[in-house]
């Protein structure tokens, strides 16, 4: 028996949304049905990847049989996901076939795990977490909602990553580290000690270079 196809709407109409569409195209049982815009209604007059662009306020008529996934890497995407959830749209959780997620780990709604990523045992990803290409996440790690983990990052075991934090490309977080909410770890940084909320850290070892920020 053929597996039923679940239509997916991608929130966003910029270039990362096209990357997400490519990801979805390789996951059995899902098919991109269109994209969703919430800032520039004139974009809805065009198509993207040959598919329609829907205005966000038109989503209730699609809520019964469509799921959504957010195609924005900014950690401020929480505003968008909350807007869409309020319109009655449910969210998919997506794992690319080349990724490996331990059966003892869990993913929140709206989270995605991209090509070649590995999530070890007893780890939990909250809602709307983006695990980009080639990411490694160790065992017994907790990642809160709307975190972005960029390509090639390596988060070790027993770590805690706060809500809305951005983990930059190629960065390393050693084991048992806590990184606060709405912080930014710069590309290539090596985090060897706990990071508070609302700061940016860069370098090897990582050091605070900005305070009072709100994610990225």
SS3 of residue 86 by DSSP: helix
**What is the C-alpha separation between 7 and 30, in angstroms, rounded?**
6
**Closest to 180 in 3D by CA, of 204, 213, 156, 151:** 213
The pLDDT assigned to 145 comes to 98
Of the pLDDT bands very low, low, confident and very high (cuts 50, 70, 90), residue 4 is: confident
Strands 136-137 and 118-119: parallel
Active site residue 124: no
Which one from 139, 140, 146, 182 is the annotated catalytic residue? Answer: 139
The token pair at 124 is 């939990």
Q: pLDDT tens digits, residue range 92-122? A: 999 999 999 999 999 999 999 999 999 999 9
Section 55-82 average pLDDT: 95
Q: What are the residue ranges spanned by the domains of the chain? A: 6-91, 94-205
CATH class of 94-205: mainly beta
Fold of 6-91: Rossmann fold (3.40.50)
pLDDT exceeds cutoff 60 at 6: yes
Question: What's this model's pTM, rounded to 2 decimal places?
Answer: 0.95
Residue 2: predicted pLDDT: 64
How large is the average pLDDT for residues 127-137? Answer: 98
DSSP string, 106-162: EE-TT-EE-TT-EE-TT-EE-TT-EE-TT-EE-TT-EE-TT-EE-TT-EE-TT-EE-
**pLDDT recorded at residue 17:** 97
């Amino acid at each position: 028996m053929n597996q039923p196809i679940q239509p997916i709407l991608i929130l966003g109409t910029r270039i990362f949304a096209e990357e997400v569409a490519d990801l979805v195209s390789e996951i059995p049982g899902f098919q991109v049905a269109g994209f969703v815009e919430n800032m520039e209604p004139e974009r809805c007059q065009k198509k993207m990847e040959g598919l329609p662009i829907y205005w966000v306020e038109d989503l209730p008529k699609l809520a019964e049989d469509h799921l959504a996934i957010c195609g924005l890497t900014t950690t401020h995407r929480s505003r968008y996901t909350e807007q869409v959830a309020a319109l009655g749209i449910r969210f998919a959780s997506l794992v690319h076939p080349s990724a490996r997620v331990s059966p003892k780990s869990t993913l929140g709604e709206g989270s995605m795990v991209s090509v070649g990523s590995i999530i070890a045992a007893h780890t939990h990803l909250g809602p709307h977490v983006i695990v980009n290409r080639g990411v490694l996440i160790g065992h017994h790690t907790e990642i809160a909602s709307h975190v972005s983990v960029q390509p090639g990052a390596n988060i070790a075991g027993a770590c805690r990553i706060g809500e809305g934090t951005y983990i930059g490309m190629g960065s390393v977080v050693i084991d048992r580290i806590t990184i606060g909410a709405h912080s930014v770890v710069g590309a290539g940084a090596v985090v060897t000690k706990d990071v508070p909320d609302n700061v940016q850290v860069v370098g090897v070892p990582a050091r605070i270079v900005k305070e009072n920020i709100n994610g990225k």
